[in-house]
């Protein structure tokens, strides 16, 4: 074992489990690529103020969970705790919104960092795939993103997840609700930190997971009773579009999510097989975020789905993904001349797009064939001095055990035919 270990609350992804994470990322990204979303990649750290303004100074993410650092030049940076603020910042910096083709549709994948108490499903380093549609206010976009996430999960075989849906109103109707909620919350028995949150963003209190707080919120005013006509109509259109697409959802009037920038549509994907950490992803509309970070008015919507949480959901449902074999052909040379000849064959197979590996290190036949089995290869190529003298190699079917001699010059064509 090394002297060093991964920092507390983080993890390493190693084969073979890493293949599942790659497959999950691909499954989430595939419907986005097919729907006009282009890939974007941002730095792993940003200016602290970007998250303070965008995510919200009242959130636990900013006040308790951000990893911050001071550069030698005195700048304050933070490891990114979420993706939306970074993606919007990058889109604004690159003037993507000025290209005249709105919305700007982007997807991303990467690691994010929050200082949390480590537990199953909640790490200090975690992986997400996200999508953002920037610059257009349209309920069809909200519905599209929810449908694409639903499609991604179903393509993985997941069935035991639920979609929670709510509307948070907008700058016209939320201030009225905010005042009513503050009046209600000020009369409750709450700690000083929660009371401070009431004055900054009272919706955060509704998201408090503590049982003693939730018990006092039973009679809290409902946001749905304060929505303006425009927000009601917008929300009903999103609901109608999802229903028409056959996407099942649940209305959750207490759903507020953990970030300050959300407006109108907000949603969450939850999986009941994960215990307390049931959320596997979520998102919503954030029409004012661009102005919060110094940009123009750009109504936008997006989501992020946790790769780690999705893998746990697959395990909870007992789903094993049908992962492609990393190796189709495994070459086993017997002797130095065969090493040179088969390595040339392997190089040619790789250039032809056939996944091939090689028994390195001059191992004997028995040990090399064990490695071939462990690699999951469909076929093994075995050759010794006698085979090369006859101009052939032995092609072994690792499933049936059948073996046949194939001319060295025809190996690539024969494998291409057998592997399709």
**d(C-alpha 345, C-alpha 382), whole Å:** 11
CB 116 within 8 A of CB 65: yes
CA–CA separation, 304 vs 286, rounded Å?
Answer: 13
pLDDT of residue 258: 58
Q: For residue 402, tell me if it sits in a domain.
A: yes
Give yes or no: residues 255 and 386 share one domain: no
The side-by-side arrangement of strands in the sheet containing 76-79 is 45-47, 76-79, 68-70
Distance from the Cα of residue 380 to its chain's centroid: 36
Residue 253 pLDDT: 85
Domain that holds residue 333: 329-419
**Per-residue confidence (pLDDT) for residue 57, from 0 to 100:** 61
Measure CA 258 to chain center: 17
Q: Are residues 39 and 143 in the same domain?
A: yes
User: Quick one: how far is CA 34 from the chain centroid?
Assistant: 17
Q: What is the CATH number of the domain that holds 64?
A: 3.30.930.10
Total domain count, the chain: 2
Report d(CA 197, CA 60) in Å as an integer: 10
Backbone angles phi and psi of 254, in degrees to 5: -100, 0
pLDDT for res 326: 84
CA 287, 289, 290, 291 dihedral sign is positive
For 197-234, letters b (16+ CB in 10 Å) and e give bbeebbbbbbbbeeeebeebeeebeebeebbeeebeeb
Give pLDDT tens digits along the chain (420 positions): 678 999 998 989 998 899 999 999 999 999 999 999 999 999 999 999 998 886 766 566 677 788 999 999 999 999 999 999 999 999 999 999 998 889 999 999 999 999 888 777 678 999 999 999 999 999 999 999 999 999 999 999 999 999 999 999 998 888 898 899 999 999 898 888 888 888 887 887 887 878 899 899 888 898 889 999 999 999 999 999 999 999 999 999 888 765 667 889 999 999 988 877 789 999 999 998 999 899 999 999 999 999 999 999 999 999 999 988 789 999 999 999 999 999 999 999 999 999 999 999 878 899 999 999 988 899 999 999 999 999 999 999 999 999 999 999 999 999 999 998
SS3 153: helix
N- to C-terminal Cα separation, the chain: 42
**pTM for the complete prediction?**
0.89
Residue 347's region, left for phi above 0, alpha for psi from -120 to 50, else beta, is: alpha
Task: Let me know if 133 is exposed, middle or buried by CB neighbors in 10 A (0-12, 13-18, 19+).
Answer: buried
Pair 333, 402 in one domain: yes
Cα gap 151→329, rounded to integer Å: 34
Quick one: 250 and 152 in the same domain? yes
Has residue 218 been placed in a domain?
Answer: no
In a domain, 179, yes or no: no
Indicate which CATH number applies to the domain containing 350.
3.40.50.800
Same domain, 142 and 280: yes
With respect to residue 284, please indicate whether it lies within any of the assigned structural domains. Answer: yes
Same structural domain for residues 368 and 310? no
Q: Are residues 269 and 129 in the same domain?
A: yes
Q: Are residues 33 and 116 in the same domain?
A: yes
Which residue, of 290, 316, 342, is where some domain finishes? 316
Question: How many helices and strands (H and E) does the chain possess?
Answer: 16, 16
Is 337 in the same domain as 393? Answer: yes
């Amino acid at each position: 074992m090394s002297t060093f270990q991964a920092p507390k609350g983080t993890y390493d992804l190693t084969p073979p489990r890493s293949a599942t994470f790659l497959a999950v990322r691909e499954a989430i990204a595939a419907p986005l690529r097919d729907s006009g979303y282009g890939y974007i990649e941002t730095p792993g750290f940003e200016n602290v103020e970007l998250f303070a303004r965008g995510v919200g100074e009242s959130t636990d993410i900013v006040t308790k969970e951000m990893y911050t650092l001071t550069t030698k030049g005195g700048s304050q940076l933070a490891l990114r705790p979420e993706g939306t603020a970074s993606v919007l910042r990058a889109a604004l910096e690159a003037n993507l919104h000025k290209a005249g083709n709105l919305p700007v549709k982007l997807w991303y994948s990467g690691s994010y960092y929050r200082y949390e108490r480590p537990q199953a499903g909640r790490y200090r380093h975690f992986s997400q795939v996200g999508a953002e549609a920037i610059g257009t206010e349209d309920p069809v976009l909200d519905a599209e993103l929810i449908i694409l996430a639903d499609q991604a999960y179903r393509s993985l075989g997941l069935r035991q997840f639920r979609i929670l849906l709510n509307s948070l109103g907008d700058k016209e109707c939320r201030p009225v609700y905010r005042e009513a909620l503050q009046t209600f919350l000020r009369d409750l028995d709450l700690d000083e930190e929660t009371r401070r949150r009431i004055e900054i963003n009272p919706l955060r209190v509704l998201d408090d997971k503590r049982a003693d707080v939730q018990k006092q919120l039973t009679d809290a005013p409902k946001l749905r009773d304060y929505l303006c006509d425009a927000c009601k109509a917008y929300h009903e259109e999103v609901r109608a579009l999802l229903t028409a697409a056959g996407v099942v959802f649940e209305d959750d009037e207490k759903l507020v999510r953990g970030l300050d920038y959300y407006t109108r549509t907000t949603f969450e994907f939850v999986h009941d097989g994960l215990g307390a950490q049931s959320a596997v992803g979520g998102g919503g509309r954030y029409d004012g975020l661009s102005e919060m970070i110094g940009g123009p008015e750009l109504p936008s919507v997006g989501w992020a789905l946790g790769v780690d949480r999705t893998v746990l959901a697959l395990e909870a449902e007992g789903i094993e993904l049908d992962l492609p074999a990393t190796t189709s052909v495994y070459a086993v040379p017997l002797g130095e001349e065969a090493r040179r000849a088969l390595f040339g064959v392997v190089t040619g197979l790789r250039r032809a797009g056939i996944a091939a590996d090689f028994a390195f290190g001059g191992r004997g036949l028995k040990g090399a064939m064990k490695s071939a089995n462990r690699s999951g290869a469909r076929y093994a190529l075995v050759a010794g001095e006698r085979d090369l003298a006859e101009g052939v190699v032995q092609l072994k079917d690792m499933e049936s055990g059948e073996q046949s001699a194939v001319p060295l010059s025809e190996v690539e064509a024969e494998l291409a035919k057998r592997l399709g």
